[in-house]
Amino acid sequence: MTERLPRIAELVPHDGAMCLLDRLLAVEGDRLVAEVVVPEQGLFSRDGSVGGWVGVEYMAQAVAAWAGWQARQAGQAPRIGFLLGTRRYRSVPRFAAGQCLQVQVQRSYQADNGLGQFDCRISAAGAELASAQITVFGPEDPNAFLNGENP
């Protein structure tokens, strides 16, 4: 029997309106696929669409969900991480309200210190709408890191 996929809110440390992804579709090894239906009304909605730049946040939250899944498998709670940078971001100018997007992330690199890199894609109806490589940092103790402590 396969494990029930958890709700996105169980995997990411984002609350309320800042949790932009709707549901987890698949997770296996270094890969995760999530779904978002572009909202008509929302923090980033304007004139029936969401700007293409929001795709970076969709990707980052999918990476956070992947990290939350990994933590869950180890019996730990999700913790905050940091988006350090984006390389080669290409996107459509806007995502249309009501459009169902699949956000796919694939880990390509992970260092022992928490630095990681992911290849990311956003697609709808089989067409790629955005892609990027994003670099993230997930310190073992985010609070100590934010306080400038060297654990």
| Model confidence pLDDT, tens digit, residues 36-58 | 999 999 889 999 999 999 999 99
Could you give the percent of the chain with pLDDT greater than 90? 74
Cβ contact 94:135 at 8 Å: no
Mean confidence (pLDDT) of the chain: 92
Task: Fill in the amino acid letter for 125.
Answer: A
| Model confidence pLDDT, tens digit, residues 112-126 | 888 999 999 999 999
pLDDT at 142: 81
Q: List the chain domain ranges.
A: 8-146
| Model confidence pLDDT, tens digit, residues 78-105 | 888 999 999 999 999 999 999 999 999 9
**Looking at the predicted structure, is the pLDDT value of residue 29 above 50?**
yes
CATH class of 8-146: alpha beta
Task: Fill in the amino acid letter for 5.
Answer: L
Torsions phi, psi for 90 (to 5 deg): -125, 135
The two tokens of residue 120 are 């990311």
pLDDT at 119: 98
Q: What is the pTM of this model?
A: 0.92
**How many residues are present in the chain?**
151
What is the helix (H) or strand (E) element at residue 148, kind and residue range? none
pLDDT at 1: 42
Beta strand segments in the chain, E? 23-28, 31-37, 45-46, 49-51, 82-91, 94-96, 100-110, 115-124, 127-137
Q: Which residue has the tokens 């060297």?
A: 150
- Local confidence band at 3 (pLDDT 50, 70, 90 cut-offs): low
Contacts of 46 (CB under 8 A, 6+ apart): none
Other beta carbons less than 10 A from residue 54's beta carbon: 22
pLDDT at 2: 52
